[in-house]
């Protein structure tokens, strides 16, 4: 009897081929959809800058350009206006205190001096005349007193004689009374004359004092005017070097106008303009360094100016260590200003990508696949060489740091 053979169970070959074909088609569709949605920029490796993400010490400093200047500068403001008749010295000259820098002339001031001298002479003459009149008046008063005293003595004799005669009955009482009244009247008149002389003397003395004071004031005024004339010769107020001097012969200079500067060369400072972004972090006492002839010098912030002009504010530095020799006003140096202590952080080198992305994202490069993809990051502090990365990158990764303008809006880069 024949035995019936059963067919083995399982997928047929044709079925397997159909499944494989379906998978390939679906994968191709997925690849097509993915490649359609993700734009790719293809470039050579030599055209981009690839940098390593590191965990290292982040130096919190900024680089600024500083200019050497004297620590003390005296402004040359004209105290008396006039016409420039001579420019005695030129800019950069070394001056001693009192050296003449510019000579001016002012005819109005000369006329004012002549008027003051004339008034002083007139007032002096008036004072002399007053003093002469006072002496004459004193003599006249003394003469009048002598005459009154003589009249009193004569009337007293008459009075005493009439009293004796009346007591003896030789004259009437009326004659005695008249003599007595004349004598008393003379005494009263002398008292009034004396009081008048005292008042007149006080008045004359006050008048003399006032005229003396007026004369002194006029002499002082004349002295001041002459001093103003001397100030037409503009002199160095101290020893130093003449800086800018903006005058020319024949030029009219107004009173109070600034014509130049005098640099006191006892000590120097370095002035720098810093971006207002750092105004809250720059303070008195911060350290900075700069390189001069292969030697590094230390300086520190001693003055921060509060005004912000054109997006920048000024800072002055003084030397905290040795001062370099042969410093010259106007020399410039690149300063490294420390804003904080070094810290260990994830860092990447500075690059043009920051201008393109604002530091919000970066292309992360996969070296094995040759593909760089976009990734959001968060940038913290920055110095002239590195950015501090707060989030989005890990040490050991690689990023593209050059400018992204050539990549357009592509979201990934294929590096050949």
Token pair for residue 379?
């940038």
pLDDT digits (tens, 9 = 90+) for 318-339: 988 778 887 888 889 999 999 8
Token pair for residue 301?
């912030």
CA distance linking residue 274 with residue 283, whole number of Å: 12
The pLDDT of residue 33 is: 45
Phi, psi values for residue 396, rounded to 5° = 100, -20
Question: Is the pLDDT assigned to residue 392 strictly greater than 80?
Answer: yes
Phi, psi values for residue 13, rounded to 5° = -60, -40
The pLDDT of residue 36 is: 43
The pLDDT of residue 299 is: 92
Using 50, 70 and 90 to split pLDDT, how confident is the model at 8?
very low
For 217-237, b where at least 16 C-beta lie within 10 A, e where not — what string? Answer: ebeeebeebeebbebbebbbe
Q: What is the average per-residue pLDDT within 225-247?
A: 86
Question: Is the pLDDT assigned to residue 32 strictly greater than 60?
Answer: no
Q: What is the mean pLDDT of the chain?
A: 85
CA distance linking residue 357 with residue 364, whole number of Å: 13
Q: Are 249 and 281 in contact (CB under 8 A)?
A: no
Token pair for residue 265?
């060369």
- Over pLDDT 70: what percentage of the chain? 91
Nearest to 361 by CA among 411, 395, 323: 411
DSSP state letter for 45: G
- Cα–Cα distance list, 250 to 82, 105, 108, 228, 229 (Å): 10, 10, 17, 20, 18
Question: Is the pLDDT assigned to residue 9 strictly greater than 70?
Answer: no
| CA gyration radius, the chain | 53
The residues facing 415 across adjacent strands are: 43
Q: What is the average per-residue pLDDT within 367-388?
A: 92
């Amino acid at each position: 009897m024949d035995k019936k053979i059963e067919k083995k169970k399982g997928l047929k070959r044709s079925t397997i081929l159909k499944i494989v074909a379906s998978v390939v088609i679906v994968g191709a569709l997925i690849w097509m959809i993915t490649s359609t949605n993700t734009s790719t920029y293809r470039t050579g490796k030599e055209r981009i800058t690839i940098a390593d993400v590191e965990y290292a010490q982040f130096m919190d400093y900024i680089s600024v350009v500083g200019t050497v200047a004297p620590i003390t500068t005296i402004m040359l403001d004209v105290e008396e206006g006039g016409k420039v008749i001579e420019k005695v010295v030129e800019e950069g000259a070394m001056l001693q205190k009192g050296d003449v820098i510019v000579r001016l002339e002012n005819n109005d001031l000369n006329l004012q001096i002549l008027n003051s001298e004339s008034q002083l002479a007139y007032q002096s003459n008036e004072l002399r005349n007053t003093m002469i009149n006072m002496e004459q008046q004193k003599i006249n008063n003394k003469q009048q007193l002598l005459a009154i005293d003589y009249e009193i003595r004569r009337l007293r004799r008459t009075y005493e004689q009439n009293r004796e005669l009346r007591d003896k009955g030789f004259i009437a009482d009326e004659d005695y009374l008249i003599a007595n009244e004349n004598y008393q009247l003379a005494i009263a008149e002398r008292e009034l004359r004396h009081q008048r002389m005292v008042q007149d003397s006080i008045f004359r003395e006050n008048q003399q004092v006032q005229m003396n004071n007026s004369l002194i004031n006029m002499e002082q005024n004349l002295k001041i005017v002459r001093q103003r004339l001397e100030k037409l010769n503009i002199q160095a107020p101290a020893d130093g070097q003449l800086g800018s001097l903006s005058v020319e012969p024949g030029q009219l200079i107004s009173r109070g106008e600034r014509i130049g500067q005098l640099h006191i060369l006892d000590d120097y400072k370095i002035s720098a303009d810093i971006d207002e972004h750092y105004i809250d972090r720059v303070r008195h006492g911060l350290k900075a360094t700069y390189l001069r002839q292969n030697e590094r010098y230390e300086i520190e912030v001693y003055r921060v100016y509060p005004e912000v002009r054109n997006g920048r504010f000024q800072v002055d530095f003084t030397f905290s260590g040795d001062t370099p020799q042969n410093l010259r006003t106007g020399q410039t140096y690149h300063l490294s200003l420390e804003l904080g202590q070094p810290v260990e952080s994830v860092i990447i080198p500075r690059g043009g990508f920051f201008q393109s992305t604002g530091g919000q994202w970066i292309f992360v490069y996969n070296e094995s696949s040759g593909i760089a993809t976009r990734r959001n990051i968060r940038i913290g502090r920055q110095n002239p060489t590195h950015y501090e990365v707060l989030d989005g990158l890990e040490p050991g990764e690689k990023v593209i740091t050059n400018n992204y303008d050539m990549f357009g809006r592509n979201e990934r880069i294929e590096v050949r």
